[in-house]
Amino acid sequence: MTPFVPLENVESVTPIISAISLVGGFSDEQRDALFARLDYAKFQKGECIFRKGEEPTHIYIVKSGKAEIRISDGEAVVDKEELGVGECFGEVSLMSMHKHTATILVTEDCEIVALSRHALIQLKKQDITLFALLMMNIARELARRVILTDNLCLLLNSGNAKPD
């Protein structure tokens, strides 16, 4: 497993700010305060960032490259969604406090920035306003996941429907 290290160059995330829904509505100061709490890791094509059944540790954001959400039941494997720059994952497991229900496979060498569970708890203690704004954005992201899952279910059940 690739270890995460503290993100040393916070400004390196600036070029993708507009693609990160988790920081929507943040002031520059709030965004910088959140980015200062991020961890960083590089992954090579074919590596798994995490596997189904593992304990959640972070909320992840794709800084560069691509990864794919894969769900399986042992027999069937479904490529649920391809994740590109600015997209997040891992928030469902971290927020629900359940083990990961999917595997994240790197499909193109990528860099990941991530907010650890510990950093999230510290944020709640140190800046409740920023924490609340982040939670609202995570809730929106979770709602988008529900819509994606609904559309995927329709696709699998009808054979004709296509996800939006």
- Write out the residue range of the structural domain in which residue 101 sits: 5-155
Whether 101 is covered by a domain: the verdict is yes
Average pLDDT of the residues of the chain: 88
d(CA 124, CA 108): 34
Whether 59 is covered by a domain: the verdict is yes
Whether 26 is covered by a domain: the verdict is yes
Q: 114 near 102, Cβ under 8 Å?
A: no
Count up the domains in the chain and report the number: 1
Tokens matching residue 61:
């954001």
Checking if the pLDDT of 119 tops 60, the result is yes
Mean pLDDT in residue range 86-99: 88
Q: What is the pTM of this model?
A: 0.85
Whether 75 is covered by a domain: the verdict is yes
Checking if the pLDDT of 68 tops 80, the result is yes
Checking if the pLDDT of 46 tops 70, the result is yes
CATH value at residue 55: 2.60.120.10
* pLDDT top residue among 126 and 156: 126
